[in-house]
Chains A and B, each alone.
Chain A
Amino acid sequence: MENVITAFSNLFNPLYMSIIAGGTLCGIFVGVMPGLSSVMGLTIMLPITFTLKGEGGILMMLGIFCGAIYGGSITACLLNTPGTANSAATCLDGYPLAVKYGQASRALGLSTYASTFGGIFSAIMLLWTAPMLAKIALKFSPAEYFGLMVFGISIVTGLSGKNVIKSMLGACLGLLLATIGVDSISGIYRFTFDTVFLGGGISFIPVLIGLFAFSQGLISVEEEFGKKGQKAANVNLKGLLPSFADIKVTFPTVIRSSIIGTIIGAIPGTGGDIASWLGYNEAKRWSKHPEKFGDGAIDGIVAPESANNAVSGGALIPLLTLGIPGDSGTAIMLGAFMMQGLIPGPLLFTEQTAKVYTIIFGLFAANIMMGFFGFAGIRMFAKIIQIPKTIMTPMIFVFCFVGTYAMNHDMNDIILMIVAGVVGFFILKLDFSIPPIILGMILGRPAEENLRRSLVLSNGDPLVFFKRPISCALIIIALLSLFYPFVLPWIRKKIALKRNGSKPQE
C-alpha cells in the first residue's frame, strides 16, 4: 500500500502530468498523420525521453503509445485511410457514418469514448494481473529465462512479416548484432575489428531509429512519387460527446472488445491490428443487425477502437512481469526501460515496486488525457491531416538525426543510423520484418547470459532446458510457433477436405 501511495504522489506532480500530456499530444499527432506509425513516433521520441529525469521519460513513452493508437481513428473516420494499421477496421464503418451520413461528430465521439474505455479497462487488468504473474515468475531460474527469451523471439518471428524464413533470418541477424563488443563472461572482444566504436557493442538506439523510422521515411519518398495529397472530408464537428443512448447500445460491444484487446495484447507477437479486426469480427457476429456493418454501424466503430486501445495495457503485462515485449511498440519501450536503468521482469515488482505502480498509474493517466484531448482538440487534429508529406518527410529525417545525436552526442551514431535506415529500406522491400531484428538485438545478450548461467548450474547438462517443465513448454511453443505458418495452410486444407467429403476446394 505504501508503494501505491508513493506512486500516486510521484505521478501527481505538475511536471509528470505535463510530460504525460505532452507525450499523449505527440502520440495523437503521430497517429493522425497517415504514414506515421506509433512505432515511428516512439522511436523518434525515444532519445528525447532520456533527457527527462526519473520516470518522466517512461511516462512520456506511455503517452505516445496510447495517443498514437487513438490518433489513427481520426484519419480512419475522416479520410478513409487508417492513420496507423491499428485503425484499419475503423475505416469500414467510421468513414460511412462520418461522410456518407454526415455524422462525423458522432463517429469521432464514439471512437474517442471507446478508445478511452478500452485503454482504462486494460490498465485495470494490468494493475490486477501483473503482480500475480510477477509472483509466479519470481520462481524462474536461468533455464526458464532462456526459454522465455527464445519464446519471445520466435513467437514474434513466427507471427510477424510475410515470410517466416526471412523473419527468422532477421532474428538471427539481430542476435548476431548483439554479440558485437566485449563478451561479458570471458572479456574477449567479439567482431569489433579493432575499432573503438564497436568495442562497446552496436548502439541499440541508432539501429532502432534507422530501421523503424528512417527506412519508413525513405519508403515514403518512394511511394509519394506521382501521388496527389488526399483531402479530408469537409465536416462540421459539433457536440462530440456521445449520447447516453449510443453508450447504452454499444456498451456490451465495448466491454467484449476491451477484453479481446487486453488478451491479444498480452500475447507476444500480436498487436493492435489483430485485436481490432478480431474485435470487429466478434461485434459483427454478436450483432442483431450484422448487415449494417460496413455502412456506418456504430458497433463497427467502437469494437475495433476499444480493442486496439486495450492492447496498450495488455502488452505491458508480459513486458513488465517477464521482460518480454508483446509487439514492436513494447520492444522499443523495453529498450527505453533498460536505458533508464529499469530491467523489466519479476524482480522489478519486488525491487522497484513504487516505480512499477507509477508506470501502471501513468497508463491510467495517459488514457484519461487521451480522452480529454480527443474530445477537446479533435477540430485541431482534423486539421493536422492536411499537412503535406513533402513537409512531414524531411521533418521525420531531421528528427531522426537529432534523436540519434541526442543519445551520445556522437556523429558516428548518425552515420550508423543512416546505414541502418538504408539497409532497412532494402530489407523491407525484400519482405523482411523489422521487429524480429530488434527483438534479437534486445534479447540477444540476456539470452546468451542465461544460457551460460543455466549450463553452469546444471554442470554442463544441455537437457536442463527440457527437464524443467516451464522452460520445456516455452521452448516447445517457440518451435511450434515457427512451424505454425507452414502448418496452418495444411490444417485448413485437411479441414476443407473433411467438410467436403472428398476433394478440397481451391
Chain B
Amino acid sequence: MKRCNIILIIIMLLIAGGVFYQTQDMPDEVFGTLGAAYWPRFIAVVLLIFTVLLSIQTIFSKSDSPSPINFKSGGIKRVFALFGILIAFGIALPILGFLFSSFLFIIAVMLVMGEKKKSWIFWSSVGITAGIYVIFDYLLKLMLPRPFFM
C-alpha cells in the first residue's frame, strides 16, 4: 500500500501545483469580492495540507498492508482485458452505431468473464441489445447513435 500511497501523493502534489500554475493570470479581486483564482487556490491549499498528512501517515505507519492492486492476479488481468475492449468499443461506436457495437461488446465482456456456453452468450447478447432498443429507442424515443451506413 505504501508504494501506491507515494504515487498518490505525487499525483496530488501535481494537481495542487497545476492549480496554482493555471490560476496565476487570474485576478485576485473582482467587483469588490474574491476573484476567480481565490476558491481554486484555497482548495489547492487544503489539498496540499491533506497530502502532507497522508505523507506523514504513510511514513509513520508501522505495518504495510499488501498492495491493493495485484497486477499478477487473474481478476486484474480480466479488468485490463476489459480496458482493451472499452477502447475497441469507443472506436467502433461512431462507425457501427450503438446497437451493433453493444452486441459485440456484450459478447466480448461475457467471454472475458469466463462464460463458455456459446449459444448462451449469443442469445444473451441478442436479448440485451433488443431490450435496450425497445426500451430506449422505441419507447423512450431516444436516438441512439446510428451506424455510418444507416
The smallest C-beta distance from B115 to any residue of chain A, in angstroms, reads 4
Complex contacts, A173 vs chain B, CB 8 Å: 15, 47
1/0 per residue, CB under 8 A from B, across A383-403: the answer is: 000001111011101110110
Q: For the complex, would chain B's binding face be called helix, strand, loop or mixed by DSSP majority?
A: helix
Is B90 in the interface zone, CB < 8 Å from A?
A: yes
The smallest C-beta distance from A432 to any residue of chain B, in angstroms, reads 9
Q: A418 and B86: CB pair below 8 A?
A: yes
A414 to B142, CA, bound (A): 15
Q: Which of B34, B75, B109 contacts A225 (CB 8 A)?
A: B75
Complex contacts, B79 vs chain A, CB 8 Å: 218, 221-222, 425
Complex contacts, B15 vs chain A, CB 8 Å: 173, 176
Q: B136 and A389: CB pair below 8 A?
A: no
Smallest Cβ-Cβ distance to A224: which chain B residue: B113
Is A235 in the interface zone, CB < 8 Å from B?
A: no
Is B43 in the interface zone, CB < 8 Å from A?
A: yes
Which residues of chain B (55-79) have a CB below 8 Å from chain A?
A: 57, 68-69, 73-76, 78-79
Complex contacts, B94 vs chain A, CB 8 Å: 411
- A-B Cβ contacts below 8 A, count: 160
Which residues of chain B (21-79) have a CB below 8 Å from chain A?
A: 22-23, 26-27, 30-36, 39-40, 43-44, 46-47, 50-51, 53-54, 57, 68-69, 73-76, 78-79
Smallest Cβ-Cβ distance to A47: which chain B residue: B142
Q: For the complex, would chain A's binding face be called helix, strand, loop or mixed by DSSP majority?
A: helix
Q: How many residues of B contact A (CB 8 A)?
A: 64
Complex contacts, B50 vs chain A, CB 8 Å: 165, 168-169, 172
Is A488 in the interface zone, CB < 8 Å from B?
A: no
Q: Which of B39, B113, B140, B143 contacts A390 (CB 8 A)?
A: B113
Q: B57 and A225: CB pair below 8 A?
A: no
A448 to B36, CA, bound (A): 10
Is A129 in the interface zone, CB < 8 Å from B?
A: no
Q: A460 and B32: CB pair below 8 A?
A: yes
Complex contacts, B51 vs chain A, CB 8 Å: 169
- Among B43, B79, B98, the most chain A Cβ lie within 10 Å of the Cβ of B43
A406 to B143, CA, bound (A): 8
Q: B82 and A190: CB pair below 8 A?
A: no
Q: B102 and A398: CB pair below 8 A?
A: yes
Q: A188 and B26: CB pair below 8 A?
A: yes
The smallest C-beta distance from B120 to any residue of chain A, in angstroms, reads 9
* Interface stretch (choices A67-75, A83-91, A334-342, A451-459): A451-459
Q: B54 and A225: CB pair below 8 A?
A: no
Q: A221 and B82: CB pair below 8 A?
A: yes
Q: Check A406/B136 contact, CB under 8 A, given A165-B54, A221-B78.
A: yes
6 new A-B contacts, CB < 8 A, other than A394-B105, A429-B69, are A51-B141, A176-B19, A225-B73, A391-B128, A395-B106, A398-B106
By Cβ-Cβ distance, the 3 closest A-B pairs, closest first, are: A222-B75, A225-B75, A394-B109
Selected A-B contacts with CB under 8 Å, 15 pairs: A169-B47, A169-B50, A176-B40, A185-B33, A190-B23, A191-B22, A221-B112, A391-B128, A394-B125, A398-B132, A405-B98, A411-B94, A414-B93, A422-B86, A460-B33
**Chain B residues packing against A (C-beta within 8 Å):** 4-5, 8, 12, 15, 19, 22-23, 26-27, 30-36, 39-40, 43-44, 46-47, 50-51, 53-54, 57, 68-69, 73-76, 78-79, 82-83, 86, 90, 93-94, 98, 102, 105-106, 109-110, 112-115, 124-125, 128-129, 132, 136, 140-145
**Chain A residues packing against B (C-beta within 8 Å):** 48, 51, 165-166, 168-169, 172-173, 175-176, 179, 183, 185-186, 188, 190-191, 218, 221-226, 388-391, 393-395, 397-399, 401-402, 405-406, 409, 411, 414-415, 418, 422, 425-426, 429-431, 448, 451-453, 455-456, 460
